[in-house]
Amino acid sequence: MSHFIESLYPWYLRHRRDLPWRKTTDPYLIWVSETILQQTRVGQGLPYYERFILSYPDVVSLARAHEDEVLKLWEGLGYYSRARNLLAAARQILQNFNGKFPSAYSDIRKLKGVGDYTAAAVASIAFNLPYAAVDGNVYRVLSRCYGLETPINTPAGKKLFAQLAEELLNRREPGMHNQALMEFGALQCVPKNPDCENCPLVNHCAAFLTKQVDRLPVKNRTLQRSSRYFNFFLIEGVGQILIHKRQKNDIWKNLYQLPLEETAGETSAEEILQSQLLIPLLNIETVKIQKITPLRTHELTHQRIFARFIHLQTDQLPENTAGFIKINKKDISKFAFPGLVKKYFEENHLI
């Protein structure tokens, strides 16, 4: 109990941000916040958290929700499996624990969408259980403090840092300890250009002493982005448009989109229109081309989407919409769309 990491505690008490999920010990609220904050900055997730807990203040209200509604609240935040898993886990809790959030680490860890990090975070912060939460911040702080060069995105790295974090854990106040370490990484020991001159741990930091701060943590990168070409059709009847629910195992699963024609490579809008795959399918006769946007890029973690929007006007949308959903324009905002599509609606004042 006399490790130098403890000098972080007074730092934490002084510098910690005043965040809504720090005002509660409700495991449900802690869990929701941890899920929203996965791979997401506090500033980005905060408004989503506020809206989410207003709509679903407890496990049972979430468990009773419809997935479309939950995804709508998640719209624009990304990594939508988090929302689907959150709902599934809430239903697990209703079924298996009578709606009461489980208080054992092993039970928490079994919930959908809850991995090692989230289970440890919820167990320690909400129940004061002695589990070390190791997130991106903790990897960075520990790799620098101890000068560890093992790549953090390898099994060996995960094991090493998990073990070290477990040894360092303050077992009396694991929740505070975990948050102190993470907050320190988020505010002081930042990825780029950290202010080491004003760091409370500078005299203990192996990376600082050996001038390796900007090299740590080490991460093997594998990321390769593939390109995809999306042609979205805004097919507008009188006050109505067609949309479609993505259901395959692909990006944006269970979100809505406009009728889409994906091509293998870069294709001109003329070719798309001449191929006439979509229009005959819908048996639309009189179609007027309103506007075709230039190709725009949308970057995802592992895909680069090249998208264009083709705006067509017709007198009347068909009765048989071949799997597409006919909706009123004023109802567009009721559905969850990928950011790319939502942005298009906004540009054209459809929402």
Partner DNA sequence: AAACCGGGGAA
Partner DNA sequence: TTCCCAGGTTT
Q: Is residue 34 annotated as part of the catalytic site, yes or no?
A: yes
- Which contiguous run of DSSP H or E holds residue 310? strand 303-314
Q: Is 24 in the site for DNA (CB under 7 A)?
A: no
Under a CB-based contact definition with an 8 Å cutoff, are residues 42 and 214 in contact? no
Helix/strand/coil for 102: coil
Q: Is 166 in the site for DNA (CB under 7 A)?
A: no
Question: In sequence order, which residues have a C-beta less than 8 Å from that of residue 233 and are 6 or more positions away?
Answer: 242, 258, 259, 260, 261, 278, 309, 310, 312
| Cis peptide bond upstream of 217, omega within 30 | yes
Q: Is 245 in the site for DNA (CB under 7 A)?
A: no
Q: Is 81 in the site for DNA (CB under 7 A)?
A: yes
Q: Is 339 in the site for DNA (CB under 7 A)?
A: yes
Closest CB 254 distance from DNA, rounded Å? 9
In the complex with DNA, the residue whose CB is nearer, 35 or 314, is: 35
Closest CB 316 distance from DNA, rounded Å? 32
Closest CB 140 distance from DNA, rounded Å? 5
Span near DNA by CB under 7 A; candidates 205-213, 222-230, 257-265, 318-326: 222-230
- Going by C-alpha positions, the residue among 298, 297, 294 that lies closest to residue 311 is 294
Largest CA distance in the chain: 79
Among 299, 319, 320, 349, indicate the residue that binds DNA (CB under 7 A). 299
Under a CB-based contact definition with an 8 Å cutoff, are residues 317 and 239 in contact? no
Query: With contacts defined by CB under 7 A, how many residues of the chain interact with DNA?
Result: 66
Among 43, 265, 280, 294, indicate the residue that binds DNA (CB under 7 A). 43
Span near DNA by CB under 7 A; candidates 74-82, 93-101, 234-242, 284-292: 74-82
- Going by C-alpha positions, the residue among 106, 102, 100, 160 that lies closest to residue 134 is 160
Closest CB 330 distance from DNA, rounded Å? 23
Task: Please identify every residue annotated as catalytic.
Answer: 34
